[in-house]
Amino acid sequence: MGVDAAQAKTLFSVSKDTSRADLEKLFHSLIEENGQSLFRLAAGFTNSRADCDDLFQEMVLAIWQALPNFRAESSVRTYLFRIARNRAIAFLISRRKMQSEDETPLVADHRPDPQQQMEAKEKREELLNSVRRLPFAYRDVITLALEGLSYAEIADILGLSETNVGARLNRAKLALKPLLEKGK
C-alpha cells in the first residue's frame, strides 16, 4: 500500500480530525514500505550492528513524532528520509561527544595502581637491604646520593673531595650490582 503526497495530504488536511488509528495505520504502512531502505541508511552511518539497530529505532521514533507535522510539500518518502538523515547526523554528533567525554577523564589519576605500588615498595626494600650489606664507606656515599645530594654536597658532608666522592660512588655502584642481582 503506497502512500503518496496526495493521500498523505488528505489524511492530514485537518490534523485534529485525523484519528490516532489513521495515524498509526499510515505510520505502519510507511515503515513497512520504507523500513529496509531506512535500515540501510542507518547502516551507512554506523560501524556496528548494535549502533545500526539503535539508530534505526531512533529514526522510526523521530518519524512517528514528526508524522503529524507533514505538510505535503514533498513526497512522503522524501519527508521520511529527511527526518531519518537528520536523526542519523544527530546520532553521530551525540556519539562523538560521548566518545570524547569517555576519552578525557574529568580528573586524571597519576597514582600508580596497587600492583605497581607494591612492586615499587618491594624494589625499595630490596635496594635498602642491599645497601646495608655494603662496606660503611660505600654505604655512606650511596645513601647520600640516593637522597639526591650533589657531589659537592656529599663532599662537604663527608669531608672528602668531589673526585673522591665520585670514585667511592662508582665503587659503591659496582659493589651494589651483584647484591641486587643475587636478591632476584
* The pLDDT of residue 12: 53
Buried residues in 57-76 as b, exposed as e (16+ CB within 10 A): ebbbebbeeebeebebeeeb
pLDDT band of 182, cuts 50, 70, 90: confident
Q: Give the pLDDT band (50/70/90) at residue 14.
A: very low
The DSSP H or E segment spanning 127 is: helix 114-132
Please give the domain boundaries of the chain with CATH numbers for all domains.
Answer: 5-103 (1.10.1740.10), 129-183 (1.10.10.10)
| The dihedral sign for the CA sequence 98, 103, 104, 107 | positive
Tell me: pLDDT of 101 over 80. no
Residues 6+ away with beta carbon under 8 Å from 179: 130, 133, 134
Instruction: Over range 140-152, report the average pLDDT.
Output: 87
User: Residue 83 class from Cβ within 10 Å (0-12 exposed, 13-18 middle, 19+ buried)?
Assistant: buried
121 — pLDDT class (breaks 50, 70, 90):
confident
